[in-house]
Amino acid sequence: MTLPGSVVEGITPSGPAGSRHAFVTLVTNADYVMGATALARSIRKTGTDADIVVLHTGGVSSELLTPLARLSCRLIATDLLPLSDAFNQRHARKNVHSTAPFTKGRKPDFHSPLDNFCKLRLWQLMDYERCIFIDADALVLKNIDRYFAYPEFSAAPNVYESLADFHRLNSGVFVASPSLRTFNAMLERLDTPDAFWPRTDQTFLQNFFPDWHGLPVTMNMLQYVWFNMPALWDWSSIGVLHYQYEKPWEKNHPKAERLRPLVNLWHAFFNGENIPEIADLQNPNLQNPGLPNPD
């Protein structure tokens, strides 16, 4: 038996579901609302019939949600997970950054690691048979509806530097089936004494689903591939472009020049103006990744 979303503890939907499939994202502050606005516009442009669900916490005021409502997103108010104080302390930003420092890129100040765990509430969305979670710092560049047929748990590899990256998953995009049973099992596993998940939900999900299914790398193309592994870049094959680490809307973005075409593309989706044909974009120049390819 499935319970309607409205009686599941911790989530309060603004209206009924319109499909058995949903793209789901999460916003806990004004910065990620900007991300979700560009993401939702990009998903609408693919012509999908699936719902676009935005889980939002108390950190987001109702006025901030207006652009997402205009894009016909299904807004679902979301409580933080019921986690112990000790767990919350271990995963506070200061502690995560000192215990497991980020050496490959810079996380913006507005990123709170603890908030990431709210993604797990996707498993409470019992109105849906299958969901595709997408981080708010991503764009969908073509129709990806066929991935609703993929099994739980499917995710793409966390590739942005080398072949060794294929061993681990990136939790910015994943396919999952809501189930209260799974949700409860996750809560039990998550907050055990001394549990520390250095990359938060990502480390947890890889541990919870050790036999995860692979999505193609094009379903979660990480922005650093543009300059680290340019031979892997092919605009026309990208389903989801994911701006991991620095965000395209950051004011003092240390890599904005190296990522200029990607940053510009995000702004076009955010503003809803001059969105280019993706297939017309220039692939990176393999000799000089900062410049477009001459051919």
**Contacted by 182, from Mn ion, ligand UDP, none: CB < 5 to 8 Å by type:** none
From 67, 113, 157, 172, residue interacting with Mn ion (rule: CB under 5 A): 172
Beta bridge partners of 53: 24, 74
**Contacted by 112, from Mn ion, ligand UDP, none: CB < 5 to 8 Å by type:** ligand UDP
The C-alpha atoms of residue 16 and residue 266 are separated, in whole angstroms, by: 30
Stretch that binds Mn ion, among 166-174, 179-187, 207-215, 278-286 (CB under 5 A): 166-174
The C-alpha atoms of residue 145 and residue 236 are separated, in whole angstroms, by: 16
Cβ-based nearer residue to ligand UDP, 208 or 283: 208
Which parts of this chain interact with ligand UDP (CB under 6 A)? 25-29, 32, 111-112, 115-116, 135-137, 172, 244-245
Min dist. Cβ of residue 170 to ligand UDP (A): 8
The radius of gyration of the chain from alpha carbons, rounded to an integer in Å, stands at 18
Evaluate whether 51 touches 17 at the Cβ level (below 8 Å).
yes
Stretch that binds Mn ion, among 32-40, 130-138, 161-169, 284-292 (CB under 5 A): 130-138
Min dist. Cβ of residue 35 to ligand UDP (A): 6
Min dist. Cβ of residue 291 to ligand UDP (A): 26
**Contacted by 191, from ligand UDP, Mn ion, none: CB < 5 to 8 Å by type:** none
Evaluate whether 238 touches 278 at the Cβ level (below 8 Å).
yes
Cβ-based nearer residue to Mn ion, 157 or 172: 172
Does position 31 interact with Mn ion (CB under 5 A)? The reply is: no
Report which of 95, 75, 127 is spatially closest to residue 198, judged by C-alpha positions.
Answer: 95
Report which of 126, 138, 136, 133 is spatially closest to residue 36, judged by C-alpha positions.
Answer: 136
DSSP per-residue codes, 102-167: --SS---TT--GGGGGGGGGGGG-TT-SEEEEE-TTEEE-S--GGGGGSPSSEEEE--SS-GGGGG
**Footprint of Mn ion on this chain (CB under 5 A)?**
135, 137, 172
